[in-house]
Amino acid sequence: MEEVAREPGQELPEDTRYLAILAALLGCQGLDVYKDILPKALDAGLTPVMVKEMVYQAADYLGLGRVMPFLSAANDIFTARKAGNNGC
């Protein structure tokens, strides 16, 4: 996987690459992998606002029922990371 992402002249900024991965996972309903990748994407520079906007935009194409589990998972991860950073 890394050799494709690091191919000379074909690299994407890391946050853009993770946004594309998360969008593809949402589209194919890969919720478990989405939950695994989202923290890595946040560490790479994606912001919660960027992630939520991607999820909101997907609702037009996939429908609210298919998007809600991803929004809930994202909110859970954002809350857990905030709690971990604030010592709560």
53 lies in some domain: yes
More confident residue, 38 or 14: 38
> Would residue 56 count as lying in a domain?
yes
Print the domain residue range for 22.
Answer: 13-86
DSSP output for the chain: -HHHHT-TT----HHHHHHHHHHHHHHTT-HHHHHHHHHHHHHTT--HHHHHHHHHHHHHHH-HHHHHHHHHHHHHHHHHHHHHHHT-
Specify if 60 maps to a domain. Answer: yes
Please state, in angstroms and rounded to a whole number, the distance separating the CA atoms of residues 46 and 38: 9
pLDDT at position 62, please? Answer: 95
Residue 79 inside a domain? The answer is yes
- 31-40 average pLDDT score: 98
Task: Evaluate whether residue 3 is within a structural domain.
Answer: no
The 3-state DSSP class for residue 86 equals helix
**How many domains, the chain?**
1
pLDDT of 9: 64
Confidence of residue 4 (pLDDT cuts 50, 70, 90): low
Q: Tell me the mean pLDDT in the region 1-28.
A: 82
What pLDDT shows up at residue 87? 40
Q: Is the dihedral of CA 21, 22, 28, 33 positive or negative?
A: positive
pLDDT at 11: 79
pLDDT given at position 5: 61
Q: Kindly state whether residue 31 falls inside one of the protein's structural domains.
A: yes
